[in-house]
A and B are shown apart, each in its own frame.
Chain A
Amino acid sequence: MKRRDFLKLTISGFAGLGFNDAFAIFKPAELPDLVVAEGTSHSKVTEKAIEALGGIRRFISRGDVVVVKPNMAWDRTPEQAANTNPEVVKEVVKLCYEAGAKKVKVFDRTVNDPRRVYVQSGIMEAVKKVGGEVFFVDDRRFKEVLINGEAIKTWPLYTEVFEADKVINVPIAKHHSLAKLTMAMKNWMGIMGGSRRQIHQKLDESLADLAMVIKPTLTILDATRILIRNGPQGGNLEDVKVLNTVVAGIDQVAVDSFGATLFGMKGEDLGYVKLAHKRGLGNMNLSKIKIKRIRL
C-alpha cells in the first residue's frame, strides 16, 4: 500500500465512516491482493468482493469524480455475456456514491451502434437508477497521448479517464480469437479513439503499452457469466458459462492472470499478460499473491 493510500484510509477511518474501515487500518498487511467472490446475487457478490479488498472507502474519497469503465461494446443482451453484467456495474456505481463520490461517469466507445449497445446491454438503465452519469463518447474529447510503448508511440485516448480522480475498470471475461481472452487489460481499448482496429497487428504489445499509461484505481472482473466461444460478441447462450464469480483487485495484470484460470488457462498463456508482467506493470504469478476466496 502506498503511503498516500494509507493516509487516506487513516483519515477516512478517523472520520468515523464506519467501524469496518477503522478496523481495517490496524491490519492493512492482512488485506488480500485479489478477492474471488462467488454467489448467485451478482450485486451482493460485487459488494462483498470489494468489501474484502478493504472496502470501497479504501479507493474512493469524498468528492471524487470517478470513471467506471465497463465493457459495453456490443449490441447484445446481458445473458449473452458480451458486455459487463449491468448488476455488477450498477453495484460499483452505487458503492462509489456511498463512499461520497461527487460524480460517477460511465461510458465506452462501442463497436456496434452506441444507442443500441447502451440500451440492449442494460447498463444505461441500471446505472441511471443509482444516479450514475451515462453518456455517449464525444469525438472531440479524444486527445493524443504520449505512450512511447513498443507498438504504440502516441494514440488519441479519452480525456475523461485522465481527468477523473479515480478510475475503476469493470470488464467482463470473454473469449477472443486473437488475444485468446479479453478481460481487464484489453478493456482499455474502449477508450482508444482513431482507427484502433490497426492495433491487432501487434495486439499483445499494444495492450501492454496501454497499461503503461492507464492505471486504474481498482479492477472488478465480471465473471458472473463468461463467454467461452465465439467471443468477443457471442450471441449463442450455449457459449455462455455461468460462474457467478466476481474478481476484485488493484493489479490488473494479476486480475487477468487469475481470469485466465477460469478458462483453464494460465496468465502466461496470454501474450499481453506475460509482457506486462515482464515490464513490471503487475504480477501474473498467482502463487506470489494473496488470494481470498468468498462464497456467499
Chain B
Amino acid sequence: MKTLKALRRISQGLFLFLFFYLFLQTESKGFDELGYPVKVFLDLDPLIFLSTLLSSRSIVKLFYLSLVTILITIIFGRVFCGWICPFGTLNNLVGLLKKRETYRFKRFQIKYYILFFLLSASLFTLQFSGLMDPISLLIRSMTVNIYPSFNYAVRAIFDFLYSLDIRVLESVYSIIKRSVLSFEQTFYRQSLFIGGLFLLILGLNLYERRFWCRYLCPLGALLGLLSRYSLLKRSVSEGCNSCGICERNCPSGAINKSQEWLQTECFQCFNCDDLCPQKAVKSGFKEQRGLQVDLTRRQVITYISAGILSVPFIRTTPFLKEEFLNPRLIRPPGSLEEKEFLRRCIRCGECMKVCITNGLQPAFLEAGLEALWTPVLVPKIGYCEYRCTLCGQVCPTGAIRRLSLHEKAKVKIGLAMIDKGRCLPYAHGRPCIVCEEVCPTPKKAIWFERIMIKDRDGKELEIQQPHVDLELCIGCGICEAKCPVVDRPAIYVTSIGESRSKVNQLLLE
C-alpha cells in the first residue's frame, strides 16, 4: 500500500526532526530548569532499560516508556527500526547515495552476538551497552563531533564575511545563531575518535545499505528477538512471479533470493508492499511465521561467555585498587560513587551537551578502559557553574543524580590547591585576587593573608596571599578556569574531597 510507505516516511521525518529539536533544546537558556524532555529517546530505548536494570540492579523509573517500545515490537515487529529510530533514518538517508544494492553481507547473527555479549557483561555489572546503543551513539557523536563541527563551519563562514565588511548577511546569521547554533562554540577531547567512528558507520551504507542496522546494532538485535513472535506478518500470494523487486528494495535485507521473509529482520517499512508489480505482498495478523535468524547454540554460548569473561578481563586495572586514584578524574556534581557510576553511565553524552561551560568532556583512559567516554570535568576547558544543575537533569540513568540548588551548593567534586611556585602574590610579589573574586561560595572558600614583602630594591609592600578553606571549597574549578596564569594555572582542582567517595578524603570529619 502506498499510504503505509508514505506514512512510514512521514513518521521517520517527524521523529528525526523531533530528535534534532530536542537535541538543540539540550542547552541552557539561563533558567534553573531545562524544561524539555530531551532524553525521551533514551527513555524509549529498551536496550538501555534492560542493561541498566541488569548492571545497576535497580529500576530506573523513567524507562517505563521503553515498555511501550517492547509492546509495539511484540505486536508489529521492528517498527522502531523502520519508523522511529533517528539513527536508522540517518542510515537510510546516507544509503540513498548508493544507487543500487550490490553487496550482501548477510551475517545478521553478528548483532545478536554483540547483544549477548553486552547483556551478559551488564549482568555482571559491566555497562558497555551505551557504546553501541544507536540512540546513545547518535547523541554522543552529535554532541562531541558533528554538532561542534557544524557550528565551526557556519561561524567560520559568517566571521569571514564579517571580516570582509559584508554585513548584509548579519541578520541571517543572527537568525541561524538563535535557532540552530550553540550558544558558544564547543570543543571536545576525543572528538575525532568519536566522530570518526560515527562517519565510518554512516559510510558503511555505501558498502551496503543500512549495514549498521542489519548487522551491528544491538538494539536492533534485541527488537529482533522480540519480533520473533510478533503478530504482524508478511505473506505473498499466488500472484508472485519472483521478479525480485522486493528483495532488491528491502532496506533490512529481510527478503532472500527465493523471496522468503525473515521475520526478525524486517523493519516493517512496506517498501515491498508498495513496489510489488503483481500486488502479491500482503501484511496482516496471520499465524504462519516467517523465517527466524539463524543463531547456533554454540555461538550464543560463546558470546555470552565472552561477555562474562570480559568483566574480570577488563577489571585488572590498578584503578580498581582502592587508593589508586586519578587526581584529575573530577566527576560531575551528583555523580554516584565511582563503581556505581560506571554501572549506570551509558556515555550518551547528554551531560556534555548540556554542560553550560563545555567543561564536561569524554574520558579516554583516565579511569581505565571501563570508563571510556564517561564525563569528566576539565576545569581548564570549563568550570562547574555554581548554580547550574543541568547535567543531573538530563542524565537518563541516574549516574548523575538530580540535585536541588540547595544540595548542589553542598556537593564537593574536588578541592582546589594553590601552586605557590606559580601564583603571582606568592612567587612574584604581584597583587592578584582573581581566584577569590570568582569563588562562588557565599562565604568565600578563598581567603587572604596580608603579608609585608620586599621587592628587589628592598622596598616594602603589602600583599594579599590566597589560601583555600578546605571546608568551604566545593571544587567547582572556576578559580582554575579564570586564573591569570593561563597555561598552567597556579590554582587547580583535584578530585580529593569529592563527596561521593569514602576513600578520596582529606579532612578529618
Give me the interface of A with B, judged by CB distance under 8 Å. 75, 111-120, 124, 136, 140, 176-178, 195, 197-198, 200-201, 203, 230, 232-236, 239
Contact = CB atoms under 8 A, between A and B. Distances in A.
A235 B432 contact: no
Contacts of A233: 437-440
- Would you list the 5 A-B pairs with minimal beta carbon distance, nearest first? A119-B30, A235-B442, A115-B30, A236-B442, A178-B433
A233 to B, nearest CB: 6
A201 B444 CA distance: 21
Contacts, number: 82
B30 A178 contact: no
Contacts of B431: 178, 200-201, 203
B216 to A, nearest CB: 39
Interface in B179-225: 183
A111 B448 contact: no
Interface of B: 28-31, 159, 162, 183, 356-357, 385-388, 424, 430-434, 436-444, 448, 464, 482-484, 486
A234 B440 CA distance: 8
A116 B434 CA distance: 20
Contact of A236 (B387, B443, B484, B486): B443
Contacts of A116: 28, 30, 356, 385, 387-388
Nearest to A237: B442
5 contacts: A112-B386, A113-B356, A113-B388, A120-B30, A197-B434
A229 to B, nearest CB: 9
B457 to A, nearest CB: 18
Contacts of A111: 438, 482
A122 B464 CA distance: 34
Nearest to A179: B433
A235 to B, nearest CB: 3
Nearest to B387: A75
A177 B433 contact: yes
B183 A235 contact: no
A121 to B, nearest CB: 10
Contacts of A113: 28, 30, 356-357, 385, 388
A195 B31 CA distance: 27
A132 to B, nearest CB: 17
Nearest to B357: A113
A200 B30 contact: no
Given A116-B388, A200-B484, 19 more contacts: A75-B385, A75-B387, A113-B30, A113-B356, A115-B356, A116-B356, A116-B387, A119-B30, A177-B433, A177-B437, A178-B464, A200-B431, A201-B430, A233-B438, A233-B440, A234-B442, A235-B440, A235-B441, A239-B442
Contact of A120 (B387, B424, B442): B387
A188 to B, nearest CB: 16
A200 B464 CA distance: 12
B442 A176 contact: no
Contacts of A234: 442
Most chain A CB within a 10 A radius of its CB, from B437, B448, B464: B437
Contacts of A197: 434, 482-484
Nearest to A235: B442
A124 B30 CA distance: 11
A116 B356 CA distance: 9
B488 to A, nearest CB: 15
Given A113-B385, A201-B430, A195 B440 contact: no
A109 B448 CA distance: 27
A189 to B, nearest CB: 11
B427 to A, nearest CB: 13
B28 A115 contact: yes
Nearest to B433: A178
A140 B442 contact: no
B437 to A, nearest CB: 6
A6 B162 CA distance: 40
Nearest to B434: A197
Contacts of B388: 75, 113, 116
B278 to A, nearest CB: 60
B356 A200 contact: no
A230 B444 CA distance: 7
Nearest to A203: B431
A39 B385 CA distance: 35
B501 to A, nearest CB: 26
A206 to B, nearest CB: 11
A230 to B, nearest CB: 6
A197 to B, nearest CB: 5
Nearest to A202: B431
Contact of A177 (B430, B436, B482): B436
Given A177-B464, A236-B442, A140 B434 contact: no
Nearest to B356: A113
A111 B483 CA distance: 13
A115 B484 contact: no
A111 B438 CA distance: 8
Contacts of B436: 177
A157 B159 CA distance: 19
A292 B432 CA distance: 38
A239 B431 CA distance: 25
Contacts of B439: 233
A200 B387 contact: no
A200 B432 contact: yes
A232 B387 contact: no
A36 B356 CA distance: 40
B469 to A, nearest CB: 12
A178 B162 CA distance: 39
Nearest to A182: B437
Contacts of B432: 200-201
Contacts of B30: 113, 115-120, 124
Given A195-B486, A200-B434, A230-B442, A115 B387 contact: no
Given A119-B31, A120-B30, A200-B431, A75 B482 contact: no
B28 to A, nearest CB: 5
A113 B440 CA distance: 13
Contacts of B433: 177-178, 200
Nearest to A77: B387
